[in-house]
Structure 1
Amino acid sequence: MKFNLRAHQLDEFFRAKIGPKVTAPLWVAHQVGNTKNTYLPTYRRAADRKSAARVGIDLVALAVRWRCLPFHYLRYELYRSGLDFKDVASYIPDTVFYSRILPTVNRSVLLLDDKLACKRILGDAGVRQPKLLATGERSLPLDAAGAPIPTVPAALDAALSGTTEVVIKPARHTSGGAGVLVLTNNDGVLRHQDGSLFSLAVYGDAWGGWLIEEYVHQHAELAEFNPHSLNTFRVITEFHPARGARVLYCLFKSSTGTDAVDNACNGGLYVRVDPFTGELDDTAHTTDLTRHDRHPVSRTRFAGRRLSVIHQVVEAAERAAVHFPRTPLIGWDIAVGRTGQALIVEGNSSPSLMNLQRTHGGLAPTLSRSLINDHRRS
């Protein structure tokens, strides 16, 4: 008993303390690449930036305050002349968020980040999700109950219940929509959207574990923005044992083109949503620092729009969050079906800070030391 407890504590120590240090060089290289390719060119084009002296003072002050290289200064365009240092200091550096805050607050993340485990936990709790049709480990397909599927089209079609449009995605170790594909099923023969044949064996070799779900045909209110992609909500929840679950922030996401997925890493946009009224902000953002006042596909304006399905979305997020009490800060991706039913697509133990701070402003007053101390006490 004591050995198992100590092994768990050691595992948590390496995850929270050693892991961020080991991966630090990769993180710095990632930040340098983004700065060189995107953020620095945007800074040079900006007409309303502060003087070079003021920028230098800000950078030094931020480095001292947060004890890290202030890459986020360019990422969040904190050089704009209308921002005083109080505003600038309210933005959490990505290094601090991912290396110090999240590892301390979110302790047990495996059950959430394994998409199949998460799906089964929520399914057992009665939380609505896209229907699970099949799973697999490399080239071995299993039906929704875990029974092997013979490698013949008829057996696969039976497992997929004859569903003509499905989604396949990796079961773990992925982010930003990587590996998520929309496929067509014709009598157990799977094809890509362009009509080319899809191979489960090749996909399994590339991603390991995978799962196939029924494709969600979305609510007309969301399809109005972009009918090509499944437009979803990113809802950030916080869970506390004494207070339960609550929604902190909410975003609406959509592809800026004809891609089937709406992830920001694939060029998608995101816009702030009021979690109480469903009202959209007047400006949407992308990771390349562009802004949109209307959707580039449909030309639908964001300003003044209210999404009536917001209450179902918030309720679904809060209901899901209580089942992962040791992962208090979760970013939920939530779709809404044609009938208005909110469906949990997946949960993320590492929600995108950039998307949140570009839409909500600096989050230091909410997600900095006070949050860490609160959950340490719990």
Structure 2
Amino acid sequence: MVLFSLVMGKLRQFFRLAAQRQRQGHRSVLVQVAQAAFLLLVRQHGPMFYQMAGFWRKSIPLRDMMAHLNAREYSRRVASLNPSMYRMQSENKLSEKALLTLLGFPVPRFVGHFHAMHGRAASGEPLRTPQDLVAMIKQEDLRRLCFKPLEECGGEGFTPVDVVFDGGVCHFRGLGETETVTVDEFIGRWTEPLGAVIEEYFEQHPVLSALNPSSVNTCRIWVARSENQPAQTLFGYLRIGRGGSTIDNRDGGGLAAPVDSETGVLDSAVDSVETREIYQQHPDHGAAIKNVQLPYWAEAKALSEACLAAFPRLRFAGLDIAIGAEGPVIIEMNVSPAREGATFVDIPSGRVIPR
């Protein structure tokens, strides 16, 4: 009964969106239904994937719709490119950070790994108690930090804070918030069993900050390499947070703006969900998006390609790259980036991901 209700709800949403697109001058409801049914039967693309990918646009030919990998095909393709035993190099943020730092890649400054039993600061000092953390903050004169779970996706658990001293007592205040909590209270609320990776907050380039100042807006760059060949950039898009949000990804309601691979110029952004609303300006505060020139785009691509090559046996990834005043840095690498990313840039995934 629950499954039936879920299916019916999705169908009602599909028809509501199809009617809306028809009113906007796109494909008729009848054509959308026929195409969605065909793709479901032949390619196992669900009707909501049809809407999210914007297949209702008359400019998208059926051959391009067919060329997108379905969920099962994508999983198999990724598994063939990235053997499971090697994925943990990147899926654990501490090991990923260690390898990138060891090889001299630009990354946000690593402060330490907080854990009640075996936490350790970058300086080598213990980082196991709130007192250890406060001592490190004072010693390093830290003012803004990020706490991340060791293993997470979609920005879950990401917590940026400002360091505030009140009467000599160290407090944390969430970015954009007014309430402060003591370090003891903050640590008491942190429930991740593996502890937290702590980094210094990365200050993004003014061009990126203008798009949305509350979030570090990162480029998601898909890179891949064929056997015994150098890595190449497949495509990229800029993830832009919503007003007041500290994360930029789709799980946080973020936007996705395709980047011209040659020039680094942004196209209009989409909301990266089934509604696929299109925005030339930010919907929350009006900042221009379309035609904005990203700084250091060529360097961001080169950095992404070099990063993939640094991980043994991995041949495909989506790099999250932040851009600062002095150039790009690697936020993290995703060995199985969301397949929907290819739809944001209208590039069929089956044509660009190597076998």
TM-score, normalised with respect to structure 1: 0.79
- What SS does the corresponding residue of 1:88 show, helix, strand or coil? helix
> What amino acid is the match of 1:109?
R
Range with bigger deviation, 120-129 or 279-288: 279-288
**CA 1:277–1:83 in 2, change beyond 3 Å: closer, same or farther?**
closer
| Partners of 1:35 and 1:71 within 8 A in 2 | yes
Distance of 1:353 and 1:252 partners within structure 2 = 16
Q: Return the offset for 1:215.
A: 0.3
Is 1:270 the equivalent of 2:251?
no
User: Shift of residue 302 of structure 1?
Assistant: 2.8
Distance 1:237 1:33, change over 3 A: farther
How far 1:344 moved relative to its partner?
0.5
In the aligned structure 1, how far is the partner of 2:254 from the partner of 2:33? 32
Q: Which residue number in structure 2 is paired with residue 255 of structure 1?
A: 241
CA contact (8 A) 1:157 1:185 kept: no
Q: Map Cα deviations across residues 105-148 of structure 1 (whole Å, 9 max, x no partner).
A: 22121111101100000100000100011213367642125542
Pair 1:131-2:118 in alignment: no
1:178 matched to 2:123? The reply is no
Are residues 86 and 306 of structure 1, via their aligned partners in 2, closer, same or farther at CA, if it must alter by over 3 Å? same
Q: Judging changes above 3 Å, is the alpha-carbon distance between structure 1 residues 297 and 137 closer, same or farther for their aligned structure 2 residues?
A: same
**Aligned partners of 2:62, 2:249: CA distance in 1, in Å?**
32
Give the match for residue 120 of structure 2. 142
Separation in structure 1 between the aligned mates of residue 318 and residue 8 of structure 2, nearest angstrom = 26
RMSD: 2.8
Secondary structure at the aligned position of 2:340 is classed as helix
Gap change, CA 1:354 and 1:138, over 3 Å in 2? farther
Question: 1:250·1:273 contact (CA, 8 Å) conserved in 2?
Answer: yes
Counterpart CA distance in 1 for 2:288 and 2:237 is 16
Question: Shift of residue 60 of structure 1?
Answer: 4.8
Give the residue type in structure 1 aligned to 2:18. Y
The one-letter code matched in structure 2 to 1:180 is F
Partners of 2:130 and 2:56 in 1: CA distance: 59
2: CA distance, partners of 1:80 / 1:179: 36
Unaligned runs of 5+ in 2: none
Matched with 1:92 is 69
2:80 alignment partner in structure 1: 104
Whether 1:75 aligns to 2:52 is: yes
Structure 1 residues 266-275 or 122-131, which shifts more? 266-275
The C-alpha deviation readout for 1:54-94, integer Å capped at 9, x for no partner, is 44543454345335756522332424455442232123323
What CA distance in whole angstroms lies between the structure 1 residues aligned with 2:88 and 2:10? 31
> Helix, strand or coil: the match of 1:78?
coil
Superposed, 1:1-378 pairs within 5 Å as 35=10, 39=14, 41-47=16-22, 48-52=26-30, 54-55=31-32, 57-66=34-43, 72-81=49-58, 83-97=60-74, 99-107=75-83, 108-137=86-115, 141-145=119-123, 147-149=125-127, 151-153=129-131, 155-160=132-137, 161-172=140-151, 174-186=152-164, 188-193=170-175, 194=177, 195-197=179-181, 198-203=185-190, 205-206=191-192, 208-287=194-273, 288-338=275-325, 340-367=326-353, 371-372=354-355
CA contact (8 A) 1:225 1:297 kept: no
Assess, with a 3 A threshold, how the Cα gap between structure 1 residues 165 and 43 changes in structure 2: closer, same or farther: same
Identity %: 22
In structure 2, distance between residues paired with 1:214 and 1:132: 7
CA contact (8 A) 1:239 1:325 kept: no
CA 1:67–1:49: 2 relative to 1, 3 Å: closer
Q: Tell whether the 8 Å contact from 1:241 to 1:325 is kept in structure 2 after alignment.
A: no
Structure 1, 215-224 or 305-314: larger mean CA deviation: 305-314
Residues 113, 34 of structure 1: alpha-carbon distance in 2 compared, 3 angstrom cutoff: farther
Q: Which residue of 2 aligns with 1:8?
A: none
Q: For 1:34 and 1:76, locate their aligned partners in 2 and report how far apart those are by CA, in whole Å.
A: 19
Contact 1:138 1:201 in 2 (8 A): no
Give the Cα–Cα distance (whole angstroms) in 1 for the partners of residues 69 and 116 of structure 2: 39
Mark the CA change 1:41 to 1:355 in structure 2 (over 3 Å): closer, same or farther. farther
Paired residues of 1:139 and 1:201 also in contact (CA < 8 A): no
SS of equivalent residue, structure 2 residue 301: helix
- State the partner residue of 1:14: none
- State the number of aligned residues: 335
Amino acid at match of 1:189: H
Deviations 1:205-228 (A, max 9, x none): 245332010001111121121222
Q: Secondary structure at the match of 2:211?
A: coil
TM-score between both structures, scaled by the size of structure 2:
0.83
Equivalence for 1:19: none
Alignment partners' CA distance in 1, 2:128 and 2:76: 47
